[in-house]
């Protein structure tokens, strides 16, 4: 069965950061997710000329069974849910 993805773009709160600078635990829409595995990291450039720098992405599998692509904006250093894999 094909996997469905949703683009989200909502901020999350990192409750625990891992040693590899990837979130270990985060809160999204009132629920806390615990990361059980990371599936690669990549970087993409934003509109740097408008103050947006390089974005760092990480794919994480959580104990709740959801896979997320999380993204950190260089400009604000904030983490967001970029995409959710159901």
Partner 1 sequence: MAVTHLHTHSAFSFYDGAARVEALPRAARDAGMSAIALTDHDTLAGAVRFYQAALEVGVKPIIGVEFTVEPVLPELHEDPERPPHLLLLAESNEGYSNLCRLVTAARLGEARRESAFSAAYEQVDRRRPLLTQANLRRHSEHLIALTACRKRGEIPSLLERGLLNEALAVAEHYRELFGPERLFVELHNHLLPRPQSRARYRLAELAARAGLECVATNDAHYVAKSGYRLQDVMVCMGARQTVDEPNPDRRPNAEFYLKSPRQMAKLFADQPEAVVNADRIAERCEWELDLDTFHFPAFDMERLRGRSEKGMVKSEKGTAASAVGRPPLLATCHSPLATEPPRAFLRRLCEQGAMRLYGHITGHVRERLDHELTIIEDKGLVDYFLIVWDIVRFARSQGILCTGRGSAGDSLVSYVLGITHADPLANDLLFERFLNPERRNMPDIDVDFDTRRRDEVTKYIYDTYGAERVAAVCNVNTFRARSAIRELGHALGFSDEEIGKLASVFPHIRAGDISAALEKYPELRDAQLNLADKRLLIELAEEISGLPRHLSVHVGGLLIGSRPLTGQFDKDDVEALGLVKMDILGLRIHSAIVDALDHIEAREGRRIEIEALPLDDEPSYELLRSTHTVGLFQLESPGQRNLLGRIQPTNFEDVIANISLFRPGPVQADMITPYIMRRHGLQEVEYAHPELEPILGTTFGVVIYQEQVLRIAHAIAGFSLGEADVLRRMMTKDITPEDLEEIEERFILRAGERGVRPAVAQEIFTMVRGFAAYGFNKAHAACFGKISYQTAWLKVHYPAEFMAGILSSEPMGFYPPRTVAEDAKRCGCGILPPCVNRSADRCLVEYERNPVGDIRLGLWMVRGMQERSVRRILGERERGGEFASLEDFCARTSVPGPVVESLVLARAFEFTGMDPQELLWRLSALPSDVVAGRGGRRRSPTLSYDDVDDLVGMLPSLDPMTEVGRVATDLHILGVSTTRNAFSFWRERLREMGVTPSVKLWERENGERVRVAGIIVARARPPTRSGRTAIFISLEDELGLIDVAVFEEAYNKCGRALYTSPVICVEGKLTRMGALDLSVTAENVIGLGSWSDFKLALTRDNTLGSAAHRNEAATRQTEIRGGEGRQIAYY
Please report, as ranges, the residues that interact with partner 1 according to CB under 8 A. Answer: 40-45, 47-49, 53-54, 57
Map tokens 């970087």 to a residue.
43
Smallest distance from the beta carbon of 40 to partner 1, in angstroms?
Answer: 7
Task: Identify the bridge partners of residue 28 per DSSP, sorted by sequence position.
Answer: 31
Which residue's CB is nearer to partner 1, number 50 or number 86? Answer: 50
Which residue's CB is nearer to partner 1, number 34 or number 41? Answer: 41
For residues 46 and 10, is the Cβ–Cβ distance under 8 A? no
Residues in the chain: 86
Which residue's CB is nearer to partner 1, number 24 or number 52? Answer: 52
């Amino acid at each position: 069965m094909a996997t469905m993805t949703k683009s989200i773009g909502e901020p999350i709160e990192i409750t625990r950061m891992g040693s590899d600078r990837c979130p270990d635990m985060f809160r999204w829409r009132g629920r806390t997710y615990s990361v059980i595995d990371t599936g690669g990291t990549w970087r993409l450039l934003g509109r740097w000329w408008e103050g947006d720098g390089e974005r760092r992405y990480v794919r994480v599998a959580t104990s709740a069974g959801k896979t997320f692509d999380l993204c950190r904006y260089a400009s604000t250093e904030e983490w967001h849910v970029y995409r959710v894999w159901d």
